[in-house]
Amino acid sequence: MDADENLRVSREVVDALSEGRVVALESSIICQGMPWPQNLETALAAEEAIRSEGAVPATIAVVDGEVRVGLSPSELEQLAKRKDAVKAGIRDLPWAELKGLTAGTTVSATMAIADAAGIRVFATGGIGGVHPGEAMDISTDLVALSRLNVIVVCSGAKSFLDIENTLEVLETLGVPVIGYQTDDFPGFFVRSTGFKVPYRLNSVDEIVRFAQIKWSRGLTGGILVTNPVPPHAAADDKVISQAIEYAQRTADEQGIKGKAVTPFILEQIRRFTDGQSLSANVALAVNNARLAGQIASQAGQLVSILRR
């Protein structure tokens, strides 16, 4: 990793990077994705799940214009309580740094920072995708996945997106989509969207080997590993469908646009389901962190491949 005076990497993360035992975590889930105190509780639980698998968590955020890779528990708490944090995708990072902002990083921004820091495994809840409707609204998460050498562990795409077109764009961009012990593409709160994944792998060893083959062949870009929400925490399909319909209608009526759409819809779904969706979100975030920790603990060879 090249020296960057505005990139602060914790000592614990630096020490673990040479062995590849690091898992990046986004911070938009803390700043925009969940209310207090569930945001902090989930962040701490995700980090603990990674540690339990022998890896080191690296929550990524911009704090007062400084990009930080690896936050202490007290820093996580401060971030979770801040009301002025903006949402930063990959294109917003220079602006956040220039203006000294505090920002929760989305999937695309977190991937960019992780890749720059040499972190090859990243756990998140769900990726962005293609929004329904006639206007072209495609998340930069998909573009980042096509360019950055990071394994992204998630519970699919958020189920209020256009899943069919999201998968089509991922195929067009050459992003491998793997189902971990599943043939179905999950939909965040629910275990299946009704669409199939191109590839199914049943072990962590296979996932690591897949990445080794891809990157050693010079095939750059990310790998999407989809890990369904645990069965006990999955939301009811019918209730979620009703909640999504309500949330999307409300967003249209209120003229919610751009990067405000996803957090708005998530909040409306949480209210409609009396918190069932939030419980699913917490469970899948921690479950994904645990799987990512397992992958990172075996991913040491990926570091040397990408340094060639």
- What DSSP string describes the chain? ----TTEEE-HHHHHHHTTT-EEEE-SHIIIIIS-TTHHHHHHHHHHHHHHHTT-EEEEEEEETTEEEES--HHHHHHHHH-SSPEEE-GGGHHHHHHTT--EEE-HHHHHHHHHHHT--EEE-S-B--BPSSSS--B-HHHHHHHHS--EEEESBB-TTS-HHHHHHHHHHTT--EEEET-SBPPBTTBS--S-B-SEEE-SHHHHHHHHHHHHHTT--S-EEEE-PPPGGGPPPHHHHHHHHHHHHHHHHHHT--GGGHHHHHHHHHHHHTTTHHHHHHHHHHHHHHHHHHHHHTT-HHHHHHHT-
- With beta carbons less than 8 A apart as the criterion, state whether 229 and 284 touch: yes
**pLDDT score recorded for residue 1:** 43
Q: What is the CATH number of the domain that holds 296?
A: 3.40.1790.10
Q: What is the pLDDT of residues 151-174, one digit of tens each?
A: 999 999 988 899 999 999 999 999
What pTM, to 2 d.p., does this model score? 0.94
Among the listed residues 26, 53, 77, 267, the single catalytic one is 26
**pLDDT score recorded for residue 135:** 64
Residue 221 lies in a domain: yes
Residue 108 has pLDDT above 80, yes or no: yes
**Mean pLDDT in residue range 261-268:** 88
**Mean of per-residue pLDDT scores for the chain:** 94
**Mean pLDDT in residue range 127-151:** 91
Question: Among 144, 130, 164, 146, which Cα is nearest to 26's?
Answer: 144
**pLDDT score recorded for residue 206:** 97
Burial of 303 (0-12, 13-18, 19+ CB in 10 A): middle
Residue 233 lies in a domain: yes
Question: Among 4, 191, 246, 33, which Cα is nearest to 124's?
Answer: 33
**Mean pLDDT in residue range 15-33:** 95
Residue 85 has pLDDT above 80, yes or no: yes
**Mean pLDDT in residue range 232-254:** 92
Residue 1 lies in a domain: no
At 239, the pLDDT band (50, 70, 90 cuts) reads: very high
Site of tokens 């799987």: 291
At 308, the pLDDT band (50, 70, 90 cuts) reads: low
Residue 208 lies in a domain: yes
Those residues with Cβ within 8 angstroms of residue 19's Cβ, 6 or more apart along the chain or in another chain: 300, 303
Q: Could you give the number of structural domains in the chain?
A: 1
How far, CA to CA in Å, does 100 sit from each of 63, 109, 300? 8, 16, 35
Q: Which range marks the domain in which residue 252 is found?
A: 7-306
Residue 134 has pLDDT above 70, yes or no: no
26 included as an active-site residue: yes
238 included as an active-site residue: no
Among the listed residues 53, 77, 158, 214, the single catalytic one is 158
At 141, the pLDDT band (50, 70, 90 cuts) reads: very high
**pLDDT score recorded for residue 5:** 64
Residue 124 lies in a domain: yes
Residue 137 has pLDDT above 90, yes or no: no
Residue 304 has pLDDT above 90, yes or no: no
**pLDDT score recorded for residue 2:** 46
